[in-house]
Structure 1
């Protein structure tokens, strides 16, 4: 069995655009946990067997829509706050990139626009202040394998 190629946490990037032209993408510091989820909203219909109508019907599904979510949590980093605040204050979505970089320098690269859905800051006595962010896609997400 061949061993699969995997990546470390530090090679999973979430970058936000600064909104300039041309855009500069930077990864806000502080995340100790990140996730990128792609999903589909499905509609289903039960399709009966015409020859044997008493048999259980099978469900068939059609895609209604597609979306993506970026979430992350970690320590509140002072240097990251301006980027988060800029994205929060905007009523327009912000361009974002998600990249997974492999040891051979190939990447799985996603790009699209996202709205910050939630931005939570919390702290407990004796611990560092934490931040939790959730972003929802706004339109198409593109995928590319780069070499």
Structure 2
């Protein structure tokens, strides 16, 4: 049996883009944990048995939408606090990119996201932390790029 090829946390990146042309993406400093959730909206419909109408229907599901959400946390870093706050204050979504860099390929999603929430906290004598929640705004385009030899 072949051993699974895995990646470390530093190869799982969430990057935010600026307003330059072309967009320049960078990972905000202090973001130490991150996760993405890919969601598929489903619409349910009962499917009857035509030969036996008294039989309990099976439930059918049709896909209606796709979305991505990102959550993460880390330290409240001076180097990136304005980036997070500016994105939160913006009425418009901001450019975002997610990368999973494997040894033989990189999977990337690129699109726009809204910063849905920022939660900062601190305990006495502890480091201030920041929790972030982001939601996709439209399509997050997935590409797969082979690693360069």
Task: Give yes or no for the alignment of 1:138 onto 2:137.
Answer: yes
Give the Cα–Cα distance (whole angstroms) in 2 for the partners of residues 64 and 10 of structure 1: 34
In 1, the alpha carbon distance for the partners of 2:135 and 2:100 equals 19
Runs ≥4 in structure 1, deviation > 2 angstroms?
none
Superposed CA deviations along residues 86-142 of structure 1, whole A, max 9, x for unmatched, are 2122111001000011123x2011111000000111111121101000000000111
Give structure 2 stretches of 5+ with no counterpart: none
RMSD: 1.0
Q: Are 2:85 and 1:67 equivalent residues in the alignment?
A: no
Q: Is 1:111–1:141's contact at 8 Å kept on the other side of the alignment?
A: yes
Give the match for residue 123 of structure 2: 124
The answer as to whether partners of 1:18 and 1:83 remain within 8 angstroms in 2 is no
Aligned to 2:57: 57
Alignment TM-score, normalising by the size of structure 2: 0.94
Match of 1:9 in 2: 9
